[in-house]
Amino acid sequence: MTGAPSESHGYRDWGSRTPDLPPIFIGENGRFPDIFYATKQSIPGATTAIVYSWDGIGFLYDKASSVDIEKHVAGGGEPAYEEGKAIIADKPTLLFICFNEPDATGHNIGWGTPEYQKMLTKIDGFIGKLLDDIEAAGIADDTVVIFTADHGGSGQGHGDKEMSHMETPYLIYGKGVKHGEITDSIVCYDLAATIAWILGVKQPQPWRGQPTKSAFGM
């Protein structure tokens, strides 16, 4: 969301509700700038929305000045999809949907288990329906969808010095996207920079992310 590593925005611990360290930059809204705030600042009349089930996400952005529609759902998958579907019908500028189940299944049962793979298949079904909803809303030709995660895992945990914990999926689909493999090197905070570049949003100076331009043949 912030286009920068934790030493920049200050959130260091799992479940932090406020920065654990002083952010290196504070914007006019009193916070480190996130992608929602940057979008609202750059695009007059932009509508931003977020749907999530993990409580911790609700403390990572500025509700007052950044997000127009916030849906905190219980149960994850189906409720998150339904809320996302309703928002898509109103053609938002930027929509973030978090499906929490892969993480929960990984911790409770294990990454890579049959149950985990079954959950991924279920989430893939929701993604397919969301693409149908984008088509039905008449905005498919002007939409980019990015699918990614914040971490991987093994066993029932993550955070160790293992590539399976560090590597995540990163797929981009939609307007202007070139079919094929992304050749840019990517880290998590490139996501916000990529969204900003796609939307023509001015990237805040303290961000350290880089837009994934190779996905668009650049």
| pLDDT of 186 | 93
For the segment 163-194, what is each residue's pLDDT rounded down to a tens digit?
888 888 999 999 999 999 998 999 999 999 99
Residue 160's pLDDT band, with cuts at 50, 70 and 90, is: confident
Residue 15's pLDDT band, with cuts at 50, 70 and 90, is: confident
Report how many helices (DSSP H) and strands (DSSP E) the chain contains, helices first: 7, 5
| 155 compared with 197, residue with greater pLDDT | 197
Residue extents of the structural domains in the chain: 6-216
Cβ-contact 104, 76 below 8 angstroms: yes
Nearest Cα to Cα of residue 43 among 192, 201, 203: 201
Written as six digits, the tokens of 66 are 């950044």
| 30 compared with 161, residue with greater pLDDT | 30
For the segment 42-57, what is each residue's pLDDT rounded down to a tens digit?
999 999 999 998 888 9
Instruction: Give the domain 6-216 fold.
Output: Alkaline Phosphatase, subunit A (3.40.720)
| pLDDT of 151 | 86
Written as six digits, the tokens of 40 are 């609202």
